[in-house]
Amino acid sequence: MSKPLIDADANPREQLSDLLKRHSVDCLVCPKAGACEIQDLCARWRPKIKTLPAELENFDLGMLIERHPERCIRCGRCAEFVKSLGEEATALPVSKPVMSPLSGTLIDICPAAALIDKTQKKLVRAWETEAVQSIDTTDCALAPVKIETYRGEIVRIVPADGGLISDKARFSFDGLRVNRLDRPYRRVDGVLKECSWDEALKAVAERLNGGVKAAALIGKYADCESMLALRDLFAAFESHAIDARAGTEYFDAGSRQFHLFNTPFSRIKEADALLTIGVDLSAVLPASDFLIRQNPMPKKEIKDLSALESETLFDAAEKPMLIVGAGVSERADAAAAFDLIYRFCKQKNVIRADWNGYNFASDNTAFAGAGELGLMCETPLRPDIRENKFDFVYVLNDDSVSKAELGGAFVVYQGFYASRAARAADVIFPGVAPTEKHATYVDAQGVAKSTAPVLPPFGQAREDWKILRALSEYTVKMPLPYDDLAAVRDYLAGVGLPFYKRGELCAAEDVPFGKKGEVLPDLVDIPAFKPDEIFKNSARMRALRRERQG
């Protein structure tokens, strides 16, 4: 991503000596010591270090990044990156707060520790930490990350293999330490009281065994193993009312390409024209937005769907891209709107055998995985639940649902936060966070990826699929037919190709989506930002939002 500091073929020792003239030798107190590009080059080329004294003015870069101008070697990487984000860079190192959701990348690309992590209060060296390779589950790109822990706490999350991650992925882990559920609860005489696992499981099994009309809601951080277990448990009771929507948005279950980002991230650079409809990509998929910014192709936002058929931007394009978001799927005429979009894509050659430029961008991490598992009802369940059409509701990692939305049903909450959904429940099963389990998620492209645990479960919390497996033991039905992670994943592999070809891109077939109907004349809106529970519990993210909103 960044240009090399020196040319190894043209007197590298002299080049490095010149670079280090302005760089203070602070290795003993520098947070990059042990994981430093400059140290590696010095060990290889042994330059003469003659540091020049300098008194440089410092600037406040906001709450995430701390500036040390005396260390700057004038490599220009930070300025180049800031300009690529469309912002201004007038000094080295950069002297103004960067408003992009990728601002933390400056910490990675600065080789001299002139820009460092301001949120890290304690100096922890690279060799003092334990590092685990995992994935970022805060957005649907599921980028590979390296999570570093020190004495049982996460201290650093950085992109793996020189990639890009958002500021939320990098800094929000402080939200994983607070407001957590660490034991089961059940409601007794209207009050939630802690109880044993046996008591909690029995209370839920009694309801299921009694013959209830059951529904389930799935939230953002639900993994595929637990969604499979929930689907299988409900199927044993002949119930298929499971919904992974965040609200009442439209979903076409008959077309896999409908809900995927079908243009591989690696091929965004090939696109030669872009239309967006109802999506702020910098908020939903910031790394993909960066890749699009690097592409000089013409770009345009569509606000009026009635003007789509006459749009000419794609007329001369060979590889056009169209990105659709929740601003369309949440409309009252969403089915007709997507039918219009599909017909436009076929007319303009956006979807064809060698190129699929149609893309749906969601901020729901569980969205693609739920789509692969068929966990989207034809119509949204939330209105029916609110109207008391179900007497049992299982809430899996959905922290957004309120007591009013749950009607008068008996509610089971399974998740890792003491959220408003948990407080509305009759029984609470404490699950684990994505950083505490082996779990499968499906990214926006339809690729199945795995997390890895970096910390033990919180208190008495258990892995989510294991909770559902244990619950099946208490019911009158047969227990779920898997006892360990390998067995669950074997069952997943039989459900869909992405789970069988884990880590590989499985392109979707060209199947039409949407339904013929009237498209309303209303302009397409971009939905307002909705913080998830990790964001709400992260003091850093809350402070960052206040800082950037002024």
Closest CA to 479 of 464, 466, 463, 496: 466
pLDDT score, position 46: 57
H/E stretch holding 304: none
The C-alpha angle 241, 245, 248, rounded to 5 degrees, equals 95
Q: What is the DSSP letter of 177?
A: S
Residue with tokens 């949407």: 514
By mean pLDDT, which of 1-5, 49-53, 170-174, 486-490 is the weakest? Answer: 49-53
pLDDT higher than threshold 60 for residue 270:
yes
What's the pLDDT band for 8 if we cut at 50, 70, 90? low
Which domains are seen in the chain, by residue range? 1-116 (no CATH), 188-237+366-500 (3.40.50.740), 256-362+507-537 (3.40.228.10)
By mean pLDDT, which of 90-99, 334-343, 456-465 is the weakest? Answer: 90-99
Higher pLDDT, 92 or 312: 312
Map residue 444 onto helix, strand or coil. coil
User: Any residues with CB less than 8 A from the CB of 186 and at least 6 apart, and which?
Assistant: 192, 193, 195, 199, 200, 203, 426, 427, 428
pLDDT score, position 52: 47
Half-sphere exposure of 329 (CA within 13 A, CB side): 23
Q: What would the mean pLDDT of 286-300 be, rounded to a whole number?
A: 96
**Peptide bond preceding 144 in cis form (omega within 30 of 0):** no
pLDDT higher than threshold 80 for residue 413:
yes
**What are the backbone dihedrals phi and psi of residue 381, each rounded to the nearest 5 degrees, phi first?**
-85, -25
pLDDT score, position 96: 87
What's the pLDDT band for 155 if we cut at 50, 70, 90? very high
pLDDT score, position 88: 81
pLDDT score, position 25: 57
pLDDT score, position 451: 98
pLDDT higher than threshold 80 for residue 254:
yes
Q: What would the mean pLDDT of 416-422 be, rounded to a whole number?
A: 97
By mean pLDDT, which of 91-95, 201-205, 292-296 is the weakest? Answer: 91-95
pLDDT score, position 12: 67
Higher pLDDT, 339 or 36: 339
Cα(138)–Cα(363) distance, rounded to whole angstroms?
8
Tens of pLDDT, residues 36-73: 777 676 666 555 555 544 455 678 889 999 998 888 88
What percent of the chain clears pLDDT 90, i.e. is strictly above it? 78
Tens of pLDDT, residues 158-184: 999 888 999 999 999 999 999 999 999
pLDDT score, position 71: 83
pLDDT score, position 24: 60
Q: Determine contact, residues 77/3, Cβ cutoff 8 Å.
A: yes
Map residue 174 onto helix, strand or coil. helix
What's the pLDDT band for 13 if we cut at 50, 70, 90? low
Closest CA to 226 of 385, 521, 432, 522: 432
Higher pLDDT, 3 or 141: 141
Cα(90)–Cα(95) distance, rounded to whole angstroms?
7
What's the pLDDT band for 121 if we cut at 50, 70, 90? confident
SS (H, E, C) 468-479: HHHHHHHCCCCC
Q: What would the mean pLDDT of 510-514 be, rounded to a whole number?
A: 98
What percent of the chain clears pLDDT 70, i.e. is strictly above it? 90
